Chain A
Amino acid sequence: MDILDFTAVGLADEIKKGEVSAQEAVEAVFSRIDNCEDELNCYISFDRMEAVKRAQQVQKAIEAGEIHSSLAGVPVAIKDNICTKGMKTTCASKILQNFVPTYSAHAVKCLEEAGAVIIGKTNMDEFAMGSTTETSFTGPTKNPWNTACVPGGSSGGSAAAVAAGECYYALGSDTGGSIRQPAGYCGIVGMKPTYSTVSRYGLIAYGSSLDQIGPLCKDVTDCANILEVITSYDEKDSTSARRKDASFTEALVDDVKGMRIGIPKEYFGKGLEPEISAAVLKAAALLEEKGAIIEEFNLTLTDYAIPAYYTIASAEASSNLERFDGIKYGYRTEVYEGLHNMYKKTRSEGFGGEVKRRIMLGSFVLSSGYYDAYYLKALRVKALIKQEFDKAFSKYDVILGPVAPQTAPKLGESLTEPLKMYLGDIYTISANLTGIPGISVPCGIDSKGLPIGLQLLGDCFREKNIIRTAYAYEQARGKFAGPDVSGCEHSLYEVE
């Protein structure tokens, strides 16, 4: 078995047994990077020397019995909006192109304590705004399944890196589907935990009330293990929860008897590719065979989630991104006259088009005279959607549906049609508006050879329900083979 074929937990086991070393794993990852990175562009930065040094340290600590975690010695990639002390953290933006944080995000510290070896920082949509990883200042990431396609976004670099074996697992962030959707497009597992589960300290904010850090990984077992490591109360994040039920690996049980699963009819309406619909319903049938109770129900407010989401997320973003002003750190324009001209030029030159669009939208909906009509109304819609989900979860343990209405689109298609791109978030954003957890699990390949994602949503703090269901589904589905990247330096998948 190729060392890169191990899952994260599988690799940690092998390292513990002495079958392979952390250094060998890092070397394997970097040789894959050598082969594929020019083509895929998963990373914004990586540091081979540091990673090797770190692997040696961790290996020693494992041998000395100092680290016992299920991830010890496993190479990981971190999305570039999550601060890493001493490592450039750019948010894929010109405005932060040389920013080196003096502190690490709490989630990164948790991983480091568990003996993770950080390979580098992954590509993303600028400030996590986008669904394709094409708005990155460093250029797009390509989908390892077909390099003519996008990997999804905004955590597209993390998803592609995991799928292509350029790391064993990765951290992403999910504000409207930014973990689950690229995981779906790249045929891997991705999860957004309940809001407040993973500390946001050190995550460069996009929409503060919606952002959550979560894992992108090869299977549900890895997912539960990673989530267990990064779930930790953090006094530096006032929205951080003290979870007493964070032993997520206990939910890795192949048993869904009596699990009540609801399928929202609205998630199977027009706009959904028939192949996806079929694959997702087939997954539901597999779960039913295993004893789950499947029922259809209505989520009538689905159509309102997108406008509410883009109003709230843009409003928060317009304020969160004010600190990037050329004064303290990051990019500053070269020629300017006076303070206000410096602000204007720095921000005009430093931010990309999609970010500017959302800053303008957000500033508009918060302006006096418009606040009530847009922002407050969006908050009311959010509250109504939450009520509707609460009602659904009084009947069901899990809500099952697709991750996205389509599989990975071609590069360049989405940038010209931002509204279409926004509509593609329809199945994922409700989880962010309501704070609930969601997981994306591969459930098929379409006729274009691209993976299809199944999404399972659970009630707040009920990650175990969706982990259990996802795990049981994975057992029934069988092995899901990754993309063939053996010759990706030559671009296997030519497009017409």
Chain B
Amino acid sequence: MAKEYDTVIGLEVHVELDTKTKIFCGCSTAFGAEPNTHTCPVCTGMPGSLPVLNKQVVEYAISVGLATNCRITGFSKFDRKNYFYPDNPQNYQISQLYLPICTNGFVEITGEDGNNKKIGIHEIHMEEDAGKLIHDEWEDCSYVDYNRSGVPLIEIVSEPDMRSADEVIAYLTKLRMIIQYLGASDCKLNEGSMRADVNLSVREAGSETFGTRTEMKNLNSFKAIRRAIENERERQIDIIEAGEKVIQETRRWDDNKEYSYPMRSKEDAKDYRYFPEPDLPPVVVSEQWIEEIRSRQPEFRDEKMARYIREFDIPEYDADIITSSKKMADIFEATVGEGANPKKVSNYLMGETMRLLKILEKEPEDIHFSPENLARLIKLTDDQVINSSVAKEVFEKMFEEDVNPEEYVEIHGLKQNNDVEGLKEIIKQVITENPKSVEDYHSGKEKALGFLVGQTMKATRGKANPEMIHLLLKELL
């Protein structure tokens, strides 16, 4: 590559809002129901049906806007985006084009150079999700499930302010954390409750004008986003280097093949014939309403971190990691609320929890052990009912299936052996069986004691209290 190139990236992020009912009707938004059971005339586009806006959607959109430093639009409107596709029962999507609910905001990330960088947010608008097509390969036909039709979405459109995959991921991580803290969505990329489309162009380093951009869809993980960005950057540079022109188009990323291909032009028809939705009156947002929502904004990460250090006396390092995910912070507080020692809870979250998440390639949002069980486990260790190696085993089980540690320990006979007389007998046996080590110990080799402790543990099948073995061994030797 002869020349240096800059990458210019902007994101369109769709977030499914965690409301009980859909955006324009009273149907449930619950995931995973039998097809077409969470539907009504409105969300299946029956003739004569009319949309009625869910107020919670507006409140969530405003709260996300406030948390991302946006201007809240006092007089906002819905528009119809017209396109024919069977997953879209009315063949138009109710969205916002001309007067979106939030505009002109930003979030701060740590940029490439390590300094703080503002990523601009052009707008946030509210819209409805489409249904889902299910293709039957054997029957050569397709079915459509409208359960998801009308599930509320916000689309967060950034400015083209990002310059690398790292910045994109930092931006998405920040956005996700804000939205999770607000409780507006769980933002799971793999389940589609957060979806990011990447608009990317390249230009010669130092150039002020933008190159022709492409839009990349179907990015279901941070890994896929990173790979797609790197791949698309290379692809565009190759085209330019070959003296050809990048075509403005929408491309679909195939993460298995690590390759993107242009979507058919029919899927990409661009004249949506937007016009104001006549069935919905404008959304009027008063200053008072904004203030009400502002006053209800939850504690965000920085405040939470400061409070954890102050209130629970845990190190800053711990507080930083725990508050990096709303889910972890929630588990931390709830477990401490059950009476567990904060530092011990923190150790479980930063140590074992993070280790297992990494091995299983999961996100903190996937944690499903309960704070009650974690508190029980910590209590079992505190009361010396189990030792630390058993605790580790029980925790792994808890992490997998949220077992009750008390019951698990009972059923599997994992209680620590605190029977002194019984233990003495075993130790005497060990001493008799290992005369060499005993001799070493007496000649001043401290290591030999460790060996004998280990042998005793082995003999008790791991259930004895190591400290007690230590003391008793010294006494008997």
Contact = CB atoms under 8 A, between A and B. Distances in A.
Q: Do A and B interact with each other, yes or no?
A: yes
Contacts of B281: 238-239
A87 to B, nearest CB: 13
Contacts of B84: 322, 325, 340, 343
Contacts of A343: 84
Contact of B44 (A205, A209, A238, A328): A328
Contacts of B92: 319, 322
Nearest to A379: B276
A72 interface: no
Interface of A is mostly: loop
A357 B323 CA distance: 60
A34 interface: no
Q: Which 7 A-B pairs have the closest CB atoms?
A: A322-B91, A366-B273, A208-B278, A209-B278, A202-B48, A204-B47, A83-B48
B271 A368 contact: yes
Given A235-B52, A363-B273, A329 B46 contact: yes
Interface residues of A, number: 44
Given A238-B279, A327-B86, A89 B80 contact: no
23 contacts: A89-B48, A102-B41, A103-B48, A105-B48, A200-B50, A201-B48, A202-B48, A207-B278, A208-B279, A209-B278, A236-B50, A238-B53, A239-B281, A315-B275, A316-B275, A318-B273, A319-B80, A319-B82, A324-B47, A328-B46, A363-B273, A367-B273, A368-B270
Interface string B274-288: 110011110000000
Contacts of A368: 270-271, 273
Contacts of A207: 278
Contacts of B273: 318-319, 363, 366-368, 371
Interface in B24-69: 41, 44-53
A323 B41 contact: no
Point out which of A201, A204, A236, A322 has the most chain B C-beta atoms below 10 A from its C-beta. A322
Interface string A92-109: 000010010111010000
Interface string A180-222: 0000000000000000000011111101110000000000000
Interface residues of B, number: 30
Contact of A99 (B47, B51, B86, B144): B47
Interface in A327-361: 327-329, 339-340, 343
A203 to B, nearest CB: 6
A366 B79 CA distance: 12
A375 interface: yes
Interface in A304-326: 315-316, 318-319, 322-325
A375 B80 CA distance: 14
B52 A375 contact: no
Contacts of A5: none
Interface in B280-328: 280-281
A200 B47 CA distance: 11
A239 B279 contact: yes
Contacts of B44: 328
Nearest to A363: B273
B35 to A, nearest CB: 14
A89 B49 CA distance: 14
A237 interface: yes
Interface string B367-410: 00000000000000000000000000000000000000000000
Interface in A238-255: 238-239
B89 interface: yes
Interface of A: 82-83, 89, 91, 96, 99, 101-103, 105, 200-205, 207-209, 235-239, 315-316, 318-319, 322-325, 327-329, 339-340, 343, 363, 366-368, 371, 375
B266 A328 contact: no
A91 B46 CA distance: 13
B82 A322 contact: yes
Nearest to B53: A238
B418 interface: no
Contacts of A329: 46-47
B90 interface: yes
Interface string B201-222: 0000000000000000000000
Contacts of B47: 83, 89, 91, 96, 99, 101, 204-205, 323-324, 329
Contacts of B90: 322-323
Contact of B50 (A99, A238, A323, A325): A238
B422 to A, nearest CB: 74
A203 B46 CA distance: 11
A238 B78 CA distance: 13
Contacts of A103: 41, 46, 48-49
Given A208-B279, A318-B82, A366-B274, 4 more contacts: A340-B84, A366-B82, A367-B273, A371-B274
